[in-house]
Structure 1
Amino acid sequence: MLVKDVMKSPVLSVGPETTLEEAYRLLLEKGIRHLPVVKDGKLLGIVTDRDIRLATSHLNPKGPCPGCTQVGEVVTKEVVTAHPLDPVEEAAFVMRHRKIGCLPVLEDGELVGIVTGIDLLDALLRLTGVTEPSGRLEVRLPDRVGELARLTGFLAGRGVNIHSLLSYPEEGEYVRAVVRVNTLETHLLAQGLREAGFEVLWPPKKPW
């Protein structure tokens, strides 16, 4: 799955001359938290609801026009961006590592989309197959060649279709595989897996 599959497009943006009051009203109306700031088709930066609140908290409410400060005066200019063809897991890593809430998406220097933390959570749901009717298996495998194939071969031999399969390494030279399958009878599958020598973590073994 790529960034282009989950990004929001077209992107709602503002110019640097937009006032903080106008920008904040737009954020509230659209239910969003980030506004790219664009001038002459080029991305200048990002302004967030937090940026606006912090900026206005320092203004004199009795001043001539406390909401007339322009977005260009408070915009965050050093913006980390993504490309439409970036894998979503790389975008998620960048956002987590940089502790940022969104990535504007640029293609040939043009703003074509924006991806947020919520978009990446939606991507995770799609990748795991949890949005479709399915059963879940979690199996710990030795981290060696052929073990994952042995697991998928077992499921294929039972006529079970795999909706999604994610795996990640564990300490002690093991890999944990999380599988979504096209049946809710996962306890029967788990029993068969255990009898075949697999270490099944989910569903747990029934006490009877």
Structure 2
Amino acid sequence: MLVKDVMRAPVVTVGPDWTLEDAFRLLLERGIRHLPVVAEGRLLGIITDRDIRLATSHLNPQGPCPGCAQVGEVMTEGVVTAHPLDPVEEAARVMRERKIGSLPVLEDGELVGIVTGIDLLDALLRLTGVTEPSGRLEVRLPDRPGELARLTGFLAGRGVNIHSLLSYPEDGDFVRAVVRVNTLETHLLAEGLRQEGFAVLWPPQKPW
């Protein structure tokens, strides 16, 4: 799955000469939290609802119109961006490492979309198959060639279709595989897997 599959487009933007009050009103009206700042087709920065709240809280409330300060005075410059063909997991890694909530998406220097943390959570739901009726299996496999094929071969032999399969390494020489399958009868599958020597972590074994 790529950024272009989950990004929001077209993008709601503001100019650097917008007032903070007008930008905040736009955020509320659109139900969003991030506004790329654009002038003459070029991305200059980004401003968030948090930026606006912090900026106005630091101004003298008795002073002349705190919300009349301009976006260009508060926005974050040097914006970290993504490309439409970036994998979603790379976008998630960048956002996590930089501790940011969104990535404007540029293609040939043009702003074509924006991806947020919520968009990446939606992508995770789709990747894990939980948006479709399915059952869940979690199996610990030895980290060696052929083990994942043995698991999928077992499921295929039972006529079970795999909706999604995610795996990640564990401490030691093991890999944990999380599989979404097209049946809710996962306890029966789990017992069959255990009889074949698989270490099934979910569903737990029933006390008979």
Give TM class, smaller chain: over 0.9
* Deviation sequence 1:75-103 (CA, Å, 0-9, x none): 10021100000000000000001110000
Q: Give the match for residue 196 of structure 2.
A: 196
Q: How far apart in 2 are the matches of 1:64 and 1:191?
A: 72
Q: Give the match for residue 113 of structure 1.
A: 113
Q: Give the match for residue 34 of structure 1.
A: 34
Task: Give the aligned CA root-mean-square deviation in angstroms.
Answer: 0.6
* Deviation sequence 1:121-179 (CA, Å, 0-9, x none): 00000000001000000000000000000000000000000000000001111000000
Report matched runs for 1:88-107 at 5 Å. Answer: 88-107=88-107
Note the residue ranges of structure 1 that are not aligned, 5 or more in a row.
Answer: none
Q: Give the match for residue 79 of structure 1.
A: 79
State which drifts further: 150-159 or 62-71.
Answer: 62-71
Q: Counterpart of 1:40 in structure 2: which amino acid?
A: E
Aligned length: 208
Q: How far apart in 1 are the matches of 2:201 and 2:116?
A: 32
Q: Counterpart of 1:192 in structure 2: which amino acid?
A: G
Q: How far apart in 2 are the matches of 1:143 and 1:65?
A: 63
Q: Counterpart of 2:45 in structure 1: which amino acid?
A: G
SS state of the match for residue 64, structure 1? coil
Q: Counterpart of 1:47 in structure 2: which amino acid?
A: I
Note the residue ranges of structure 2 that are not aligned, 5 or more in a row.
Answer: none
**CA drift at 1:31:** 1.1
Q: How far apart in 2 are the matches of 1:37 and 1:198?
A: 54
Give the TM-score taking structure 1 as reference length: 0.99
Q: Give the match for residue 16 of structure 1.
A: 16
State which drifts further: 195-204 or 60-69.
Answer: 60-69
Q: Which 4+ runs in 1 deviate beyond 6 A? A: none
**Identity between Structure 1 and Structure 2 (%):** 86
Q: Give the match for residue 143 of structure 1.
A: 143
* Deviation sequence 1:27-79 (CA, Å, 0-9, x none): 11111110000000000010011110111112222223222110001110021
